[in-house]
Amino acid sequence: MTKIITTLFLFLMVTACNLPIPNNPNFNENVATKVSVDKTATMIQEYLLDATNTAHPTQNMSTPNSPTITPSPTQVDFKDKLGTPAWSDVLNNGGNWNLNKPNTDIPNVIIKVENGSLEITRSVPYGGKNWWLNYQRIKDFYLEGKFTTQECKSDDQYGLVFRAPNYKDGFGFYFTVTCDGNFNLMRWDTNGAVNLFKWEKSDAIQAGSDQTNTLGIWSQGDMIRLYANEKLIKEVVDSSLINEGHFGLFIDSHQTPGFSIKLDEIAYWNLQ
């Protein structure tokens, strides 16, 4: 069933767009890192990909920079070789995310750091992607975040954002996982939003409510590798958005009112 989008609006709360990385990781509270988007014009293309009754899009859009898809090995052991992370956060407080206030409340969404987790909750099962970005900009890296879902249904979505050029546009890559264990990679830039491959299901992803999944992204030059619970599930070559950018997390509730995710820890390693 073709989805018809009738309401478009963008809600932004950003105090600066181009910010130097502060010396103190608990950066100034005045630096806003939150951006929320609700079905903006550039997001229409993603939703129109679903032209059938299935829960997940099954068609790619043509773009000037078509990705190259390579076969996906089932498992790879690599973390021991990376050594100590260049940066990590176990979310004991919200200092690294400008979340030291009790919570941040935007229309239909609450974002807060509490009990060792960064938690995002959306009260309604619509509204597009809501994301939160870290102040840091990284280029070639392995990024890993440990997520726990609350009550959810098949097409409720969450994941990691990376290589976002700024806070305000929503541009970047979105590594998306669904409650029922499907995954995809979306690129959003000045050409619009496009899924870089058809939705796939992976046994490496723990599906269902109250599940924990560690999502990882190896991003080096035009090579992107996606990991679930330290298993390589997809490899893509894409020459767009190869410069350094911000990273963060997002939620996109499609079916469950009050859908909530928790990020329990996050870290990145620099790749030489």
Residues in the chain: 272
The string of pLDDT tens digits covering residues 39-77 is 322 233 333 333 222 233 322 333 334 444 444 444 446
- Looking up tokens 């264990």 gives 181
Mean pLDDT across 140-146? 97
Q: Which residue has the higher pLDDT, 66 or 105?
A: 105
Q: Is residue 263 part of a domain?
A: yes
Q: Is residue 73 part of a domain?
A: yes
Quick one: pLDDT at residue 75? 46
Quick one: pLDDT at residue 29? 30
Q: Which residue has the higher pLDDT, 271 or 32?
A: 271
Mean pLDDT across 16-41? 32
Residue type, position 218, single letter: W
Q: Write out the residue range of the structural domain in which residue 39 sits.
A: 9-58+67-270
**Positive or negative: CA dihedral 15, 241, 221, 194:** positive
Measured CA to CA in angstroms, residue 244 lies from 92, 158, 247 at distances of: 27, 22, 10
Q: Is residue 2 part of a domain?
A: no
Q: Are 13 and 59 in contact (CB under 8 A)?
A: no
Q: Is residue 96 part of a domain?
A: yes
Quick one: pLDDT at residue 106? 84
Q: How far apart are the first and last CA of the chain?
A: 46
CB atoms near residue 170 (< 10 Å): 25
Mean pLDDT across 172-179? 98
Average pLDDT over all residues of the chain: 77
Count of domains for the chain:
1
The CATH number of residue 105's host domain is: 2.60.120.560
Question: For residue 198, which of 217, 180, 182 has the smallest C-alpha distance?
Answer: 182
Q: Is residue 1 part of a domain?
A: no
Mean pLDDT across 109-120? 95
Quick one: pLDDT at residue 40? 29
Q: Is residue 3 part of a domain?
A: no
Quick one: pLDDT at residue 100? 85
Region of poorest pLDDT, from 47-56, 104-113, 129-138: 47-56
Quick one: pLDDT at residue 7? 30
Concatenated DSSP letters of 209-225: TT-EEEEEEEEETTEEE
Mean pLDDT across 172-182? 97
Mean pLDDT across 230-253? 94
Mean pLDDT across 123-150? 95
**Positive or negative: CA dihedral 206, 209, 214, 215:** positive
Which pair of structure tokens corresponds to residue 30?
């005045």
Q: Is residue 4 part of a domain?
A: no
